[in-house]
Structure 1
Amino acid sequence: MKQTQNISKTIAVMSMSLDGFVADSNDGVSEVFDWYFAGDIEVEAGGADAMTFRLSHPSAEHYKNLVSELGAVLTGKRTFNVAQGWGGNHGWGPAFVLTHSVPKGWPKPNSNVHFVTDGLESAIEQAKAAANGKAVGIHGADTIQQCLNAGLLDELHIDITAVLLGSGVRLFEHLENTPSTLGDPIVISGKGVTHLRYPVIKK
């Protein structure tokens, strides 16, 4: 078990407006996810929702390569609520929701959504164990901020969309230990989006 946890990476995965917001002031996310429907290559998202994306060629390759790396996902209660629990099954594998209390009606039978109420480090450990050596995708602004502040994040995988929201939920709002230098990015240009992947340099 310890060996599996040690080789699992944690990768923050978020779509963000050019001015740094992951949702508008009403928690709307449609603008930052427009790139998922900007092309003509169909990609199945998986999970209970069975959504089909229509991506540009560069974005389709980017998305498929990313998802193939992931074995589990860790997110917060807010993202869980906005996504309506992903219909009970997340497409990236087992999902661990960091929360103070388990929502009413959950956990559900035959669901891959789990709830962690004893802190971030426990959530990371559980997600890494479930990922079985693959990476853990970290989703949600607050959860990503917590991971960065705790030194528990290995990579930032940010999809910068061609929109300015002006206000809303910022991805990098409450950071500690800054300035924090990142490694050189991998850059992929898609339709209406630029995919950036930065290694996090641990201090």
Structure 2
Amino acid sequence: MGTVIMHSVVSVDGFIADANGEVGPLHEWYFSGDVPIVVGGDEEYDHSGAGDGVKVSRASADYVRSTWESIGTIVMGRNLFDQVNGWEGKPPAGDHVVVVSGRPKPEGWHPEASYHFVDGVVAAIDKARELAGERIVAVNAGEAGAQILAAGLVDEVAMDVVPVVFGSGRRYFGGIDEQHLLEDPHVVIQGDRVLHLRFKVRR
């Protein structure tokens, strides 16, 4: 089975968005570089949904490209799904999306998209692993991600740390209230206006 990695872009004080879910300057580094991130050698990623394409610094490019290409399934919470309307059925990476939700897919919503609505984090990760095969399961940080970490289902924690202080908002680790030990980072890459870190979860 593929590795389960909890991931998000995050402020230095641990927030992935403000209280309204707005990311502010957190994603600016995705579009301020000069190296386009492409899919299969020709089509540019459109992470913003605005048709801009992702262009990162040369220091970040290899890491971002290899990470995104290795993703098979994204796991997201219902709040994020509703806020971004599921990226209109076109996830930024991977072939499948599993939404942790007690409510079904909205009626008539992008029937062609491989989106699966699953009640409960254990069942969601089981489904995501089934869909991903040997590829990575990427879990969005926040409340759903924190529940998956608390359930012992996360193998690694990945953070793209941006030099900004939010002060309040939506936390990377949600409302988690217990200690979890991580190993020393095995990825430390300094990009332009972002620091890429990855830690294995200590078992």
- Normalising by structure 2, we get a TM-score of 0.88
What does the per-residue CA deviation read over 1:61-84, in whole Å, with 9 as the maximum and x for residues that have no partner?
111111122111111011112222
State the shift of 1:45 in Å: 1.9
8 Å contact from structure 2 (residues 47, 54) kept in 1: no
State the shift of 1:39 in Å: 0.7
What RMSD in Å do the two structures reach over aligned CA positions?
Answer: 1.9
Say if 1:106 and 1:124 are closer, same or farther in 2 by CA, change over 3 A: farther
State the shift of 1:184 in Å: 1.3
State the shift of 1:51 in Å: 5.1
Instruction: Give 2:113's aligned amino acid.
Output: S
Aligned mates of 1:52, 1:13 — CA distance in 2: 20
Aligned mates of 1:175, 1:101 — CA distance in 2: 23
| Equivalent position of 1:45 in the other structure | 45
Aligned mates of 2:59, 2:123 — CA distance in 1: 36
Instruction: Give 1:184's aligned amino acid.
Output: D
Please say if 1:136 is aligned against 2:130.
Answer: no
Q: Equivalent residue of 1:52, what SS?
A: coil
State the shift of 1:120 in Å: 1.1
What does the per-residue CA deviation read over 1:26-61, in whole Å, with 9 as the maximum and x for residues that have no partner?
210132111101211112226894651110012111
Q: Equivalent residue of 2:54, what SS?
A: strand
What does the per-residue CA deviation read over 1:139-178, in whole Å, with 9 as the maximum and x for residues that have no partner?
1401110011100000001000011111111112422441
Aligned mates of 1:45, 1:200 — CA distance in 2: 29
| Equivalent position of 2:41 in the other structure | none
Alignment counterpart, residue 104 of structure 2, candidates 98, 102, 105: 102
Instruction: Give 2:118's aligned amino acid.
Output: V
Q: Equivalent residue of 1:35, what SS?
A: helix
8 Å contact from structure 2 (residues 88, 110) kept in 1: no
8 Å contact from structure 1 (residues 19, 165) kept in 2: yes
8 Å contact from structure 1 (residues 78, 140) kept in 2: no
Runs (4 or more) in structure 1 with deviation over 3 Å come to: 46-51
Among all aligned residue pairs of Structure 1 and Structure 2, give the percentage whose two residues are the same amino acid: 31
Aligned mates of 2:47, 2:117 — CA distance in 1: 18
Aligned mates of 1:111, 1:47 — CA distance in 2: 17
Q: Which ranges of structure 1 fall in alignment gaps of 5 or more residues?
A: 1-6
Aligned mates of 1:100, 1:126 — CA distance in 2: 15
8 Å contact from structure 1 (residues 12, 153) kept in 2: yes
| Equivalent position of 2:27 in the other structure | 33
Q: In terms of mean alpha carbon deviation, does 37-46 or 187-196 score higher? A: 37-46
Q: How many residues align?
A: 194
| Equivalent position of 1:86 in the other structure | 87
Aligned mates of 1:10, 1:66 — CA distance in 2: 12
Instruction: Give 2:114's aligned amino acid.
Output: N
| Equivalent position of 2:165 in the other structure | 164
8 Å contact from structure 1 (residues 48, 88) kept in 2: no
Q: Which ranges of structure 2 fall in alignment gaps of 5 or more residues?
A: 38-43
Alignment counterpart, residue 10 of structure 2, candidates 12, 16, 19: 16
